[in-house]
Amino acid sequence: MNAVLDASAAAALVLPDEDSSRIQSLLNKLDSRSEIFIPSLWWFEIANILLVAGKRKRITLAQSETAMKLLMKLPVVTDDMAGNKYLESLVSYASRHGLSAYDAAYLELAKRKKAVLVSSDKMLCRAAKKEEFVVF
């Protein structure tokens, strides 16, 4: 089983006030042949999540540094595919479900990789279910 891990799910793994048990259980189910895909924008989203969490006093600078190190150790495959080949799909998903193009990128990647979508974002999960994607 392959998975697409969105930034909200990854953040739950490292932010102390989030429940990561559901996401951790899925990661534990993956075998050595499984791949965890992320779009290249994931790294920017993670950086922003950690910056905002620090500004809001959810984490300290030391916790943010530890979180970055943990996330960099995740066995993720960054998908660098972008450009006009996927623009139509991104706009279509985003328009149909009221998503940002960034969130639509996770749907496009999950479809292309035939992967389970792992997300804590309720709106993204609803959209994925409407598109009949497997969501965890």
* CATH code of the domain containing 122: 3.40.50.1010
**Taking the model in full, what pTM does it have?**
0.89
Q: What percent of the chain has pLDDT over 70?
A: 99
Residue 23 lies in a domain: yes
Each residue of 41-70: pLDDT tens digit? 999 999 999 999 999 999 999 999 999 999
d(CA 51, CA 95): 29
Residue 48 lies in a domain: yes
Residue 81 lies in a domain: yes
Residue 136 lies in a domain: no
Phi, psi of 57 (to 5 degrees): 65, 25
Residue 135 lies in a domain: no
Of 70, 63, 50, 61, residue with least CA distance to 7: 50
Q: How many domains does the chain have?
A: 1
Structural domain boundaries enclosing 79 = 3-130
Each residue of 21-34: pLDDT tens digit? 888 888 888 888 89
Residue the block writes with tokens 């969105």: 6
